[in-house]
Every structure is written in structure tokens, then in C-alpha cells.
Amino acid sequence: MSRSPNPEFYGLPAYLGLGRYHQAYRQKNVVRATYSIEGETTALYYTRIGADGCRLIEFWDGKTLSDTQRPLLEDAFFHGLASLPTWDHPRFDWLKRRVTTARNIYLAYASKPTYLFYPAGIIFRLRQPLTKANRNVWESLKGRLDHLGKSAPLQFEHKHAGVVLKWSESTGVSIEEVDLLDFRALLVDVIAATDMFWESGIVPAEKEHSLGVVDLTQTGHGSLTLRPGVPDRGFETFSVCSFDDGVPPLLKLKQDFAIVSRRIVHAQTRLQSAKD
């Protein structure tokens, strides 16, 4: 039997989805390994790799979520990850609550991921509107990220121009010009990344300036993501848009945003009336 703290010794990745390499051993040409959430010892994944292929078992809260046999670990990982949609997956439900509860942070999974990564599973884009209120905090956080370099749980991509669109039935669409900061974080790092963001104080209290955490494969493509507004503050919906994402010219963007907002709000009103 051989043991090593280095996953590369066994040809294994340092992380697998949400789990980091915990321990492994080789016996009679069979490698057995476990992956756990960072800071915990309870297995998230157990894998057995031998001449007959790879068996990967995924656990959550003491229960087996998937048990997959495939020729390669990569194949087994993708099959298990795709076996339950992210919006109906207990592990992803826990992650969303862990990241967003009591925080001005918005996290959204792809309803049907168009692409999965190995061994990351999901890569997130973190997008933070930059205003006068948090500009100085950003300079401090940027210095810390520069110091950490590749060891930081998130990597800064770029700063670019954007707008926050807000809509209400009575006043129509208003526009707030902002800078947007874009970052990337792996699934295994997203807890540490959002913790760092939140604790830095860079996320303002206003809902429309929240930190957005979205599946990287679902960003861009000229699409609008509408979110519920704050009627008491004069807007019923809002959307954070980047001109780098291929959105239409501003006038058409305002028109499209108003049309979609009105449809959604009116549909919600009719649905609520039917319930009452």
C-alpha cells in the first residue's frame, strides 16, 4: 500500500467540483481517494480507479446522490454532475444559501448548463458595480488580490463600462452609468471568493449594486437578466448590463427592458390576483 499527500502522485486533480483532495492510497494497482469541502473531513466524493475503470460516488448530508461507473474519472464526474439539475440539487441549494444569506449577493445557476469543466465543474463570473461609494474599497481590495496573485480564490478580469437599468410603471426606465468589475472563480473557490468580497466591504447596501455571481457560460450573448426591484425606492425591476456583453444600443436596450419588465410584473400581478 502506498500513500502520498500529493494528488499528482496518483494522477488525480487537486480539486473536483466543490471538493478539494483530502486523501488517497494505492493498493494492488487500485487507487482510492476522497474529496471534501475545504475545512471539512466528511467525504463529498469517493473514487476508486483501477483496471476496470473508475467508480465515483457523490455524497451529501450522509446520503448518496450519484454512483457512477465510467472508464475515466472525467467521464464519471461529468455524468454525476449532470444527473441532477443545479436548481434541484441539495448541494447547490446549500451553496447558494451559504453564499447569499444575509448578504447583498445574488447567485444564479444555469437552468441547463451549456458546458461543464473538468475538474472545476462550474466556473463563475463575479460582477460588481463600482460607484462612488465603493471605489476606494476597490483600490484596497485590488492591492490585496495583486499581492495574493494566483493563490487568490478569484482572479480579476477587467473593468469596463455598464449601466444599471431600473423600471417602474409610473416613471418608466431610468439609467445609472457605472463601471463594472469582472472576476472569475472556480466552483471550489466560490465560497472563499464571496467571503473575501463581502468582508472587504466593497458590496454596497443597495440591491441594484449587489455582487452578481453567475455561471460563466450564461453571461454575455446580449441577454437581459431581470431581477425584482425595490418598489419602496421607486423601481419594480432592475438589470445590470455590460456593453461588453453584446447588448443592443442604449435606446433599444431601454425599450426591450421596459417591455420585458412590464410583461413580467403584469403576469405576476395576474397570478397573485388568481391566488387571492
Q: pLDDT tens, 163-183? A: 999 999 999 999 999 999 999
Q: Which residues contact 107 (CB under 8 A, 6 or more apart)?
A: 95, 96, 99, 100, 213, 214
Q: Do 101 and 218 fall within a single domain? A: yes
Which of these three, 52, 83, 114, is where a domain ends? 83
Q: Do 127 and 183 fall within a single domain? A: yes
Q: Do 146 and 26 fall within a single domain? A: no
Which of these three, 83, 111, 128, is where a domain ends? 83
Q: Averaged over 141-153, what is the pLDDT?
A: 96
Confidence of residue 101 (pLDDT cuts 50, 70, 90): very high
- Tell me the pLDDT of the chain averaged across its residues: 91
Confidence of residue 118 (pLDDT cuts 50, 70, 90): very high
In degrees, rounded to 5, the angle at the alpha carbon of residue 118 between the alpha carbons of residues 58 and 45 is 15
User: What's the per-residue H, E or C state across the chain?
Assistant: CEECCCHHHHCCCCEECCEEEEEEEEECCEEEEEEECCCCCCEEEEEEEECCEEEEEEEECCEEEEEEEECCHHHHHHHHHCCCCHHHCHHHHHHHHHHHCCCCEEEECCCCCCCCECCCECEEEEEEEECCCCHHHHHHHHHHHHHHHHHCCCEEEEEEEEEEEEEECCCEEEEEEEEEEEEEEEHHHHHHHHHHHHHHCCCCCCHHHCEEEEEHHHCCCCCCCCEEEEHHHCEEEEEEEEHHHCCCCHHHHHHHHHHHHHHHHHHHHHHHHHHC
d(CA 55, CA 47): 6
Phi-psi region of 246 (alpha: psi -120 to 50; beta: other; left: phi over 0): left
Q: What is the pLDDT of residue 251?
A: 87
Q: Is the pLDDT of residue 222 over 70?
A: no
Of the listed ranges 72-76, 110-114, 163-167, the least confidently predicted one is: 110-114
Q: What is the pLDDT of residue 15?
A: 96
Q: Do 67 and 115 fall within a single domain? A: no
Q: What is the pLDDT of residue 223?
A: 62
Residues in the chain: 276
Q: What is the pLDDT of residue 247?
A: 67
Q: Which is more confidently placed, 83 or 105?
A: 105
> Is the sign of the CA dihedral 9, 79, 187, 93 positive or negative?
negative
Q: Do 116 and 244 fall within a single domain? A: yes
Q: How many CA within 13 A on the CB side of residue 250? A: 10
Q: Do 152 and 262 fall within a single domain? A: yes
Q: Which residues contact 265 (CB under 8 A, 6 or more apart)?
A: 169, 236, 237
What's this model's pTM, rounded to 2 decimal places? 0.90
Confidence of residue 189 (pLDDT cuts 50, 70, 90): very high
Q: Give the residue from 149, 206, 223, 210 showing the smallest Cα distance to 181.
A: 210
**Structural domains counted in the chain:** 2
CB of 131 closer than 8 Å to CB of 204: yes
Cell of 264: 413580467
> Is the sign of the CA dihedral 176, 181, 186, 187 positive or negative?
negative
Range of the domain at 214: 87-275
Q: Do 122 and 57 fall within a single domain? A: no
Q: Averaged over 66-95, what is the pLDDT?
A: 90
Q: What is the pLDDT of residue 21?
A: 95
Q: Do 165 and 270 fall within a single domain? A: yes
Cell 453564499 sits at which residue? 99
Q: Is the pLDDT of residue 235 over 70?
A: yes
Q: What is the pLDDT of residue 2?
A: 64
Q: Do 62 and 117 fall within a single domain? A: no
Q: Do 16 and 64 fall within a single domain? A: yes
Q: Averaged over 191-196, what is the pLDDT?
A: 97
Confidence of residue 83 (pLDDT cuts 50, 70, 90): confident
Confidence of residue 1 (pLDDT cuts 50, 70, 90): low
Q: What is the pLDDT of residue 255?
A: 92
Q: Do 205 and 261 fall within a single domain? A: yes
Which of these three, 83, 114, 139, is where a domain ends? 83
Q: Which residues contact 138 (CB under 8 A, 6 or more apart)?
A: 128, 130, 181, 202
Q: Is the pLDDT of residue 221 over 60?
A: no
Q: Do 107 and 220 fall within a single domain? A: yes
